[in-house]
Amino acid sequence: MGRPMQPPERQPLGFWTSRAAEAIRSRTRGALAEVGVTQPEWWVLHQLSLRQEGRSRSEVIDTVGPNDTPEAIVAALQSVVANGWAREDGTTVSLTTSGADRFERAAEVQRALQRERMQGISSEEFATTITVLQKTIANLGAHAWHW
C-alpha cells in the first residue's frame, strides 16, 4: 500500500469490489473453518436459527441461493443434516441442539469478523457503500437480492 495511487474517484469500481469480495470471503472462510463450519453451512445454519419450528428445504435453498451455486447450497444443507446439526422431517429442516451450539460458535466468529471489517468505517459510510453498489448493479441492468 506504500505506492501512490490515483484518487478514489478515478479508481475502477470493479477492481475494488472484486478485491473486497476476495478478502472478505477468504477471511470469513478461514475463520469459520477454525470452528468446523464452511461458509455455505453457516448460511444454512443461520437461516435455520431464525425459526425454531424449522424451515422448508426449498425456502432455505431459495433464501441462501444467491450466495453461491445451487449445488453448493444443496451440498451445505445435506452436510448440516449429515453432521447432525439439523434434522429433516418431511420437507421441514430444523436445528438440533448440536446445530444450535455450532451456530452460536459460528455466529460469534461472524460478529468478531464484522467488528474487524468495520474498523474505521461508520454505519453511515457502510450504508452508503451498500447503496452505491445496489445502484451500480441496477444501472447496469442487473439484479441482485439479499435477504
Structural domains present in the chain? 31-116 (1.10.10.10)
H helical segments located in the chain: 13-33, 39-49, 57-64, 70-82, 97-117, 123-139
Residue 124 has pLDDT above 80, yes or no: yes
pLDDT in tens, 79-96: 999 999 999 999 999 999
Confidence of residue 99 (pLDDT cuts 50, 70, 90): very high
Provide φ and ψ at 51, rounded to 5°.
-140, 110
How buried is residue 106: exposed, middle or buried, by Cβ count under 10 Å (0-12/13-18/19+)? buried
Does residue 145 surpass a pLDDT of 70?
yes
Name the pLDDT band for 66 (thresholds 50, 70, 90).
very high
Euclidean distance between CA atoms 97 and 119, whole angstroms:
34
- Given a cut of 90, whether residue 78 has pLDDT beyond it is yes
DSSP state of 121: -
Answer whether residue 126 shows pLDDT above 70: yes
DSSP tag of 85: S
**Average pLDDT for the chain:** 95
Pairing state between β 86-89 and 55-56? unpaired
Q: Is the pLDDT of residue 1 over 80?
A: no
pLDDT surpasses 70 at 146: yes
Q: Three-class SS of residue 8?
A: helix
Q: What is the pTM of this model?
A: 0.89
With cut-offs at 50, 70 and 90, classify the pLDDT of residue 8: confident
Cα 53 to Cα 47: distance, rounded to the nearest angstrom? 12
Question: Could you report the per-residue pLDDT of 18-64, keeping only the tens digit for each?
Answer: 999 999 999 999 999 999 999 999 999 999 999 999 999 999 999 99
